[in-house]
Amino acid sequence: MNFKKIRLFHTIFYITFIFIISCKTAGISIQPAQTRKVLILDLQMPHQIKTSQSIQGWWLGSKDVFEIDNAGRIFSDYLAKYFQAPLFNVYSRTDLKYYILNKREQIKKSFPDLSEEDITLLIERANPVDFGKVLQMDLVIVGRITRCNTFHNRTFHWWRSIAEVEIEIYDVSKGTQLLSLKKLRKKRFYSTSYTLDLLAKNLAKEIAMKLE
């Protein structure tokens, strides 16, 4: 039996007990961290990116290049998955989808001459804080995908995926930006989706630490 470890445990327990009693005696309440309501909007995509497969290079360096135009939505879904209670309460991604669809219909009725792309641009350029106020959120997360590709070598059949994102976090009550982050992830033998998942997981941890 390790008596040093037992003595250390008793010492830590005694100090913690004395601290709690002191706080109660002084009228100090120990409050848990406040849960923040978070709205995660779909990350914007460069408009030149379309779901496609192309070929680059030649001979041994010839490779297939795969792109998907909904990587922004996929990444935001993953990010919402990793923002967990008790620190965060994420606005339902499904409810957000229908909220945006309703906004699109309202814009279309008011401005019937606008194309679908024009409506998308209007929504993307809207102040993210306004969305947060309407939906009564504490924080809003927006951003953009700057790179998202999967490369497959046509000769040796190895592949790798690259994903790069820029994230901005806004305080709704103050209308100010709290954080701005840019992250890149490269993984060999990983799909685009799984690379986005890993990037979202690491980014969620970093954001949680910075917002504590």
Q: Residue 116: which CATH number? A: 3.40.50.10610
16 and 74 in a single domain? The answer is no
Highest mean pLDDT: which range of 39-48, 53-62, 118-127: 118-127
Say whether pLDDT at 196 is over 90: yes
Highest mean pLDDT: which range of 114-123, 130-139, 185-194: 130-139
71 and 5 in a single domain? The answer is no
The residue-averaged pLDDT of 163-183 equals 96
> How far apart are the C-alpha atoms of 141 and 200, rounded to whole Å?
12
Confidence at residue 11, expressed as pLDDT on a 0 to 100 scale: 52
Say whether pLDDT at 93 is over 70: yes
Q: Which domain holds residue 105?
A: 32-211
Say whether pLDDT at 17 is over 60: no
44 and 21 in a single domain? The answer is no
126 and 170 in a single domain? The answer is yes
* Residue whose tokens read 């992250």: 183
27 and 38 in a single domain? The answer is no
The residue-averaged pLDDT of 169-194 equals 93
Highest mean pLDDT: which range of 11-15, 111-115, 189-193: 111-115
Confidence at residue 51, expressed as pLDDT on a 0 to 100 scale: 65
174 and 202 in a single domain? The answer is yes
99 and 194 in a single domain? The answer is yes
> How far apart are the C-alpha atoms of 117 and 32, rounded to whole Å?
45
> How far apart are the C-alpha atoms of 171 and 206, rounded to whole Å?
17
Rounded to two decimals, what is the model's pTM? Answer: 0.78
Name, in order, each residue with C-beta under 8 angstroms of 53's C-beta and a sequence gap of 6 or more: 64, 65, 66, 67
> How far apart are the C-alpha atoms of 35 and 63, rounded to whole Å?
47
> How far apart are the C-alpha atoms of 27 and 78, rounded to whole Å?
42
8 A C-beta contact, residue 154 and residue 63: yes
8 A C-beta contact, residue 145 and residue 163: yes
Domains in the chain: how many in total?
Answer: 2
The residue-averaged pLDDT of 119-128 equals 91
160 and 190 in a single domain? The answer is yes
62 and 6 in a single domain? The answer is no
> How far apart are the C-alpha atoms of 158 and 1, rounded to whole Å?
53
12 and 48 in a single domain? The answer is no
Confidence at residue 31, expressed as pLDDT on a 0 to 100 scale: 43
Confidence at residue 37, expressed as pLDDT on a 0 to 100 scale: 96
> How far apart are the C-alpha atoms of 193 and 198, rounded to whole Å?
9
For 167-187, the DSSP string reads EEEEETTTTEEEEEEEEEEEE
The residue-averaged pLDDT of 130-140 equals 96
- Angle (nearest 5°) at CA 15 between 14 and 17: 65
Say whether pLDDT at 155 is over 70: yes
> How far apart are the C-alpha atoms of 124 and 99, rounded to whole Å?
14
> How far apart are the C-alpha atoms of 88 and 141, rounded to whole Å?
12
Confidence at residue 61, expressed as pLDDT on a 0 to 100 scale: 74
101 and 8 in a single domain? The answer is no
Burial (CB count <10 Å: 0-12, 13-18, 19+), residue 129: buried
What confidence tens digit (pLDDT) does each residue in 21-37 have? 444 444 444 444 578 99
Torsion of CA 184, 156, 59, 160, to 10 degrees: -10
167 and 113 in a single domain? The answer is yes
